[in-house]
Chain A
Amino acid sequence: HAHDGPTTSSSLPREARVVVCGGGIAGLSVAYHLAKLGWKEILILEQGRLTSGTTWHAAGLIGQMRSSRVMTNICQDSIKLYSSLEEETGINPGFRITGSLALAESKERMLDLQRTASKARAIGIDCDFMSPAELEKMVPWMWTQDLQGALYIPGDCVTDPTTTSMALAKGARQNGVKIIEGVKVDKVETEKERVSEVHTNQGSLKCEYFINCAGMWSHELGLKCNPGVKVPLHPNEHQYLITKPIEDINPLGLPYIRDLDNECYIRDWGQGLMAGGFVTPGKPVFTKGIPYPAEFTSLPEDWDAFRPVLDGFLKRVPAAEKAEVQQLFNGPESFTPDMSPLIGPASEVDNYFVMAGFNSAGIAASGGAGKLLAEWIHEGRPSINTWPVDVRRFSKYHNNKKFLRDRVSEIEGLHYRIGFPGMECQSGRKLRCSPLYASHAASGAVFGERSGMETPKWFANMSDTEEYGFESQTGTFGKPGWFDTVLGEYWACRETVCAMDMSFFTKFELKSDGPEALELLQKLCPNEMDMPVGHVVHTGMLNEWGGYENDCSVARLAPNSFFMICPSFQLARGYRWIESHLPSDGSVKLQNVTHLYGGLNVMGPRAREVLQKLTETSLKLSEFKPFMCTEVDIGYASKVRIISITHTGEDGFVIYIRCEHALHVYDALKEAGRIYGIRDAGYNALRWLRLEKFYPYWGEDFVDDATPFEIGREHRVKFDKGVDFLGREALLRKREEGLRKHLAMFLIEDHDLDHDMWPSGGEPIFIDGNYTGSTTSTGYGPTLQKLVCLGWVTNIDRNSGEAREVSHDYVHHSKVEIQIGNRRFPAKGFLYPPAVAKRQISHV
């Protein structure tokens, strides 16, 4: 482990502006980039020696195509950084552009690679498909006869993890970063929920910012803070084999290989080969805590666990059967509950940032992730949509150790799993359940998880075992097996009446003695919040750049009492946003009541009639209009909160029922609705309903980088309400500048539902042949009889590169195409939903 001169500054300073905990490649990268942005007094504390956690034993592969756009950006930035390090620091980091091969054994894998390729080409990543014959020419020692082909990405790279880190360390030091080894952080102190001081085994120091880059230790480190910071990750064993040189095989200069169907990767290592892989189930390690001190820890080899990888490797490289073992290396790697890293501000403490959980892509991602986080800290916000990697997407529920242990053993195998849409994890389920869970399960509900909450996706006919068992099948890129079921649920929502569990929504209550709660909401929300008691408004909560921190429906229960319904993903993030703006005098009380209420959506043209059977209060449209809220008795349950919005554009209500009453109300509703044809509907029907009416959802279609203008919500911004709400300035500026991007709705033409591939999000959108953005939510519109996608579009001038205004005409009257797999489908674009989708279906 090549150390570049003395790295240890002897004594701990009394204060620093930024303390980075962890001297792996993550911590080094974020410190390097912060220093480059001109930040001073940055201190890296490493408990052992630099890279001694998990950095030193990484395989060093850098693939660019990742599951999300932000991850792809991050890895591309890593490549830019690593390729420039030698020039800047004089240290050759072992960086080489080798290219990569992703092999496909099955037709489904080939489809998956085609989808990847279409996304790659749209954003300018060069890639090519190779036939088995071409592969054999390129890599003569590879068995190719069982292959369909391979995706070749010439720009993918490898690097040496340790020397890359050492180059970063040198670069950081050249820019003033101080690195101290052998210092263990024991506690992070806070003052008014803001980082104030760090206690270490070498003494304490004051600091303004704390960045947790402690790798597999970051979970435990997060809890050494008051309040505790969740960093939901857990280490698994990860093994790779290094062979001695093999006769007839010269691996140098060839692309590294990912044999996805055989769960292994192969690269050159010295004169031999390295083969590693991701197996199911993975083997969680250090379940009783990670040992300390632990430097350059390796675990005992486990050949039995490595057997599937070895089988895959020898199948692909038959000549290696004669090879001898140089080493079977086993080291810990951190995995997260959804295989995306944990980056960004903690939702518990201000100025506390996290960058960890790279799911064994730490080398590939750290360079770019460090840049992203440094800019995020510097600017106060990230430059792109970071939600897929944002640590705040998880709630405290996900930080449970047993949950993490169970989940990461499944997650590891997802690396090489075919990316069928709508697949759910099997482990770590029932983390959170609605009070109606058991009832729904008995009715045939097939569940998916939303922020850990079990939510019915559709209700299968339980006598049809093929359909009911769909969840356990291998998935499809085409028409989903639940199509007919969800179609039935959709039409019931539009034509009769449906009950839908909405318990996954996040719910807050905001109260004060005087007008302070209203004043806070007026400041946080761009809409007019001073509405009559009993009314509901839909509003965003914007940051100072006008972007959506949150998107919610707010009901005024009493003059100084408000009930807020937010997306499920806002459990941690949304609470923190409001909490951090509460008046310091304690006059406004914020309470998270998500776990207290079940939510039941009763929607459809007969919803009023059915609900009326259960209450004396009149629910006639004339008396209880949409966007109103009241508390009524339903069956035995008193004072049940009902809100006359359905989040789908259909008529009806969402009933918020205290959990102990939820089952009774649900049963009474089903009984009363029986002769009206009431049926259960799941989340997939809700998605179809909202897509057709162009109802974008926070966290799925837009996040904090979008303003109301860009998603067609300017009518919910009240510039004239007389309050200088958060983001007002920015919005006014934006209005002057014009819209450079816009969320649009697309109907796909010429698509054969039964035989063509379906979109599932992330599909490239082309306008007049130019790539202009990607789809977000996708689904089918039964009323429009088309596949419906939402997606982001820009209008970049091909010649000047200038971003021009995105107008309705531009979207609607240009030639729009959406690429699904290797085919481009023509599409109709809209900035406003087609009227036909909104029309109520009338019953005589």
Chain B
Amino acid sequence: VGTPVIPKLTPDAVNEVLQKNEVKVKLNPGISVVNSYCSNQLASNSPIEDQRAEAQCCLTDGVLVGVFDGHSGPKCAQVVSERLFDYIAAEILPYDTLLSVYKKIEAKETSLVRWLGGKAIPMSPNAELHHHSLVKYLYENVSVDSEADDYIPDMMATAFDRLDQDLTTEALSHSDDISVSDECLRTVFSGACANVAFFQGNDLYVANSGDCRAVLGVQMDNGVWSPIVLSNDHNAYNNNEVNRVKSSHPANESMTVIRQERLLGELMPLRAFGDARFKWQGEIQKDIFRKWEKQHGPQLRNFHLPRNFYTPPYLVPTPEVTHYNLEGKTGFLILATDGLWEMLDPDKAVALVGAHSEAMGQMGPYSPAAKVTLGEIRTALAQRRFSLRPLDTNVSTHLIRYALCGVGHTFDYDKLAESVSLPPNIVRHYRDDITVTVVFFNGKQ
């Protein structure tokens, strides 16, 4: 019996696969420091468990960009991607507008964010329930003390926590509609890491929960693009995180709480939305599953609590938030799920995006301005001569292509074709879902 041959895709088919999910959005000038962004996704799981979202705040001047890496099913990432920005936008509303906004939102006369990039939101069948939760959240904020701190990192963390809490509340509330409660349970029992960038004025905040990563590219005086990593990965390779997890549980659990570089020996990220198995009390989980099994039959019979499950919660959604001042700076922010970072380090990614954006500036025909001398033209042409001529106009696709098969300044087509030709059952062993969003900004002086 020979090895079955996996037919390799043709170059055209490879391009089609790579470019299928491309998004490129140019923002109206003057609204924000963000000029434009590119995004793309390449699936490994079917359906893809990654999500992305970009939006403008309707009632303030912020721009929100996020990537979401789902695990144990696609639901949590999907629901978080379409709800989290509302929660952040709600949290940062000035107190004096809260009451009127609450009324308008409740009446569905306005929305908190305006989605960019053609993403149809909401996709969730539980949109009505989600709206109800958001309205409730707003109402509670109205009644909270007006002198509350308006420190944005705290607000973003609050929004993360509140959304995760709402996922639990919704799942545990006894809905008569089985499909509604079903959806809630699927959401809260799957999980999602989230990395959200918030641009407001010249300020950039990055809120990260889990192992997605945000890397800033800024150009130094010598023209070299330099990377600044704006988020920490929350996983077992991060000592601070490991210490945090261990210190939140009794000392006798210190050997079991993280085993084989995973939370309770199972979960790679140490912070995430959902994942009720690591958060809820064991009895509550068992109750839920008994009920669920009655409705759905035996397919969930293999439910079990994680081993060494003594003092939940083991997992938190709370993000770490970093801040960067973009004043006078021009550059870009790469947000990507760990599928990309497994294959590309921040230095290379920033260099690639930098070179690509320079090349894109030179993609069009050269045309000398008036009064330019031939000597100056010669210099300009010499510089153009060696510039990259990328295959992809979308820089996210450029990064994915390079991550899969980059060699120097070019690409190994065979390797690329092989990589994207792998059938679904095999491809997951080779790479994760990849989501990349690159935001280009121009900080004001």
Interface residues of A (CB under 8 A from B): 241, 243, 300-304, 306-307, 310-311, 313-314, 320-325
Q: Is the CB of A303 within 8 A of B381?
A: yes
From residue B137, how far is it (CB to closest CB) to chain A in Å?
A: 57
Q: Is the CB of A324 within 8 A of B371?
A: yes
Q: Is the CB of A300 within 8 A of B365?
A: yes
Q: Is the CB of B378 within 8 A of A310?
A: yes
List, in ascending order, chain B residues with CB within 8 A of A313's CB: 374
Q: Is the CB of B367 within 8 A of A323?
A: no
Which residues of B365-380 are within 8 A (CB) of A?
365-368, 371-375, 377-378
B251 an interface residue at 8 Å Cβ cutoff? no
C-alpha gap A323/B374 in the complex (Å): 6
The residue that B375 contacts in the complex, of A300, A303, A321, with Cβ under 8 A, is: A321
The residue that A325 contacts in the complex, of B365, B374, B385, with Cβ under 8 A, is: B374
From residue B148, how far is it (CB to closest CB) to chain A in Å?
A: 59
From residue B381, how far is it (CB to closest CB) to chain A in Å?
A: 4
Q: Is the CB of A325 within 8 A of B367?
A: no
B384 an interface residue at 8 Å Cβ cutoff? yes
C-alpha gap A306/B368 in the complex (Å): 13
C-alpha gap A807/B418 in the complex (Å): 76
Q: Is the CB of A325 within 8 A of B378?
A: no
* 17 extra A-B contacts, CB within 8 A, seeds A241-B374, A321-B375: A243-B374, A300-B365, A301-B365, A303-B366, A303-B367, A303-B381, A304-B384, A307-B378, A307-B382, A310-B381, A314-B374, A320-B374, A322-B374, A322-B375, A323-B373, A325-B372, A325-B374
By beta carbon, the residue of chain A nearest B384 is A304
Q: Is the CB of B373 within 8 A of A321?
A: yes
C-alpha gap A243/B373 in the complex (Å): 10
List, in ascending order, chain B residues with CB within 8 A of A303's CB: 365-368, 377, 381
List, in ascending order, chain A residues with CB within 8 A of B377's CB: 303, 310, 325
- Interchain Cβ contacts under 8 Å between A and B, 29 examples: A301-B367, A302-B365, A303-B366, A303-B367, A303-B368, A303-B377, A303-B381, A304-B365, A304-B366, A304-B381, A304-B384, A304-B385, A306-B381, A307-B382, A307-B385, A310-B374, A310-B377, A310-B381, A311-B378, A313-B374, A320-B374, A321-B373, A321-B374, A321-B375, A321-B378, A322-B375, A323-B373, A323-B374, A325-B374
By beta carbon, the residue of chain A nearest B375 is A321
By beta carbon, the residue of chain B nearest A303 is B366
From residue A239, how far is it (CB to closest CB) to chain B in Å?
A: 12
Give 7 nearest A-B pairs by CB, closest first: A321-B375, A303-B366, A307-B381, A323-B374, A322-B373, A320-B374, A321-B374
By beta carbon, the residue of chain A nearest B370 is A324
List, in ascending order, chain B residues with CB within 8 A of A322's CB: 373-375
List, in ascending order, chain B residues with CB within 8 A of A323's CB: 373-374
From residue A525, how far is it (CB to closest CB) to chain B in Å?
A: 56
Q: Is the CB of B368 within 8 A of A314?
A: no
List, in ascending order, chain A residues with CB within 8 A of B382's CB: 307
C-alpha gap A528/B424 in the complex (Å): 80
List, in ascending order, chain A residues with CB within 8 A of B367's CB: 301, 303
List, in ascending order, chain B residues with CB within 8 A of A310's CB: 374, 377-378, 381
From residue A305, how far is it (CB to closest CB) to chain B in Å?
A: 10
List, in ascending order, chain A residues with CB within 8 A of B368's CB: 303, 325
Q: Is the CB of A324 within 8 A of B373?
A: yes
From residue B405, how far is it (CB to closest CB) to chain A in Å?
A: 27
List, in ascending order, chain B residues with CB within 8 A of A241's CB: 374
Interface band, chain B = 10 to 19
List, in ascending order, chain A residues with CB within 8 A of B378's CB: 307, 310-311, 314, 321
By beta carbon, the residue of chain A nearest B382 is A307
List, in ascending order, chain B residues with CB within 8 A of A300's CB: 365
Q: Is the CB of A314 within 8 A of B375?
A: yes
By beta carbon, the residue of chain B nearest A313 is B374
Q: Chain B CB within 10 Å — which of A301, A313, A323, A324 has the most?
A: A324
C-alpha gap A301/B367 in the complex (Å): 8
C-alpha gap A301/B364 in the complex (Å): 12
List, in ascending order, chain B residues with CB within 8 A of A304's CB: 365-366, 381, 384-385
List, in ascending order, chain A residues with CB within 8 A of B374's CB: 241, 243, 310, 313-314, 320-325
From residue B389, how far is it (CB to closest CB) to chain A in Å?
A: 10
C-alpha gap A311/B377 in the complex (Å): 10
By beta carbon, the residue of chain B nearest A306 is B381
By beta carbon, the residue of chain B nearest A307 is B381
List, in ascending order, chain A residues with CB within 8 A of B381's CB: 303-304, 306-307, 310
From residue A785, how far is it (CB to closest CB) to chain B in Å?
A: 52
By beta carbon, the residue of chain B nearest A320 is B374
By beta carbon, the residue of chain B nearest A241 is B374
C-alpha gap A303/B374 in the complex (Å): 11
From residue A648, how far is it (CB to closest CB) to chain B in Å?
A: 49
From residue B161, how far is it (CB to closest CB) to chain A in Å?
A: 55
Which residues of B293-315 are within 8 A (CB) of A?
none
From residue A315, how far is it (CB to closest CB) to chain B in Å?
A: 10
List, in ascending order, chain B residues with CB within 8 A of A314's CB: 374-375, 378
From residue B386, how far is it (CB to closest CB) to chain A in Å?
A: 11
List, in ascending order, chain A residues with CB within 8 A of B365's CB: 300-304
From residue A461, how far is it (CB to closest CB) to chain B in Å?
A: 35
From residue A551, how far is it (CB to closest CB) to chain B in Å?
A: 51
C-alpha gap A325/B372 in the complex (Å): 8
C-alpha gap A252/B311 in the complex (Å): 95
By beta carbon, the residue of chain A nearest B368 is A325
Q: Is the CB of B372 within 8 A of A324?
A: yes
From residue A242, how far is it (CB to closest CB) to chain B in Å?
A: 11
List, in ascending order, chain B residues with CB within 8 A of A324's CB: 371-374
From residue B370, how far is it (CB to closest CB) to chain A in Å?
A: 8
List, in ascending order, chain B residues with CB within 8 A of A311's CB: 378
From residue B279, how far is it (CB to closest CB) to chain A in Å?
A: 59
From residue A279, how far is it (CB to closest CB) to chain B in Å?
A: 13
List, in ascending order, chain B residues with CB within 8 A of A320's CB: 374
C-alpha gap A241/B367 in the complex (Å): 13
By beta carbon, the residue of chain B nearest A321 is B375
C-alpha gap A307/B368 in the complex (Å): 13
Which residues of B357-403 are within 8 A (CB) of A?
365-368, 371-375, 377-378, 381-382, 384-385
C-alpha gap A323/B372 in the complex (Å): 8
C-alpha gap A310/B375 in the complex (Å): 9
C-alpha gap A241/B377 in the complex (Å): 12
From residue B179, how far is it (CB to closest CB) to chain A in Å?
A: 56
Which residues of B272-331 are within 8 A (CB) of A?
none
By beta carbon, the residue of chain A nearest B373 is A322
Q: Chain B CB within 10 Å — which of A302, A303, A304, A310 has the most?
A: A303
C-alpha gap A310/B378 in the complex (Å): 7
C-alpha gap A325/B367 in the complex (Å): 11
C-alpha gap A313/B375 in the complex (Å): 11
From residue A93, how far is it (CB to closest CB) to chain B in Å?
A: 30
List, in ascending order, chain A residues with CB within 8 A of B371's CB: 324
C-alpha gap A712/B373 in the complex (Å): 65
C-alpha gap A712/B375 in the complex (Å): 62
From residue A664, how far is it (CB to closest CB) to chain B in Å?
A: 34
C-alpha gap A177/B240 in the complex (Å): 95
Q: Chain A CB within 10 Å — which of B366, B377, B382 has the most?
A: B377
List, in ascending order, chain A residues with CB within 8 A of B373's CB: 321-324
C-alpha gap A323/B384 in the complex (Å): 21
By beta carbon, the residue of chain A nearest B371 is A324
Q: Chain B CB within 10 Å — which of A307, A320, A323 has the most?
A: A307
By beta carbon, the residue of chain B nearest A300 is B365
From residue B280, how far is it (CB to closest CB) to chain A in Å?
A: 63
By beta carbon, the residue of chain B nearest A243 is B374
From residue A63, how far is it (CB to closest CB) to chain B in Å?
A: 25
C-alpha gap A323/B377 in the complex (Å): 10
C-alpha gap A302/B374 in the complex (Å): 15
C-alpha gap A119/B366 in the complex (Å): 44
C-alpha gap A302/B366 in the complex (Å): 7
List, in ascending order, chain A residues with CB within 8 A of B384's CB: 304
List, in ascending order, chain A residues with CB within 8 A of B385's CB: 304, 307
C-alpha gap A311/B368 in the complex (Å): 16
C-alpha gap A325/B366 in the complex (Å): 14
C-alpha gap A243/B366 in the complex (Å): 17
From residue B367, how far is it (CB to closest CB) to chain A in Å?
A: 7
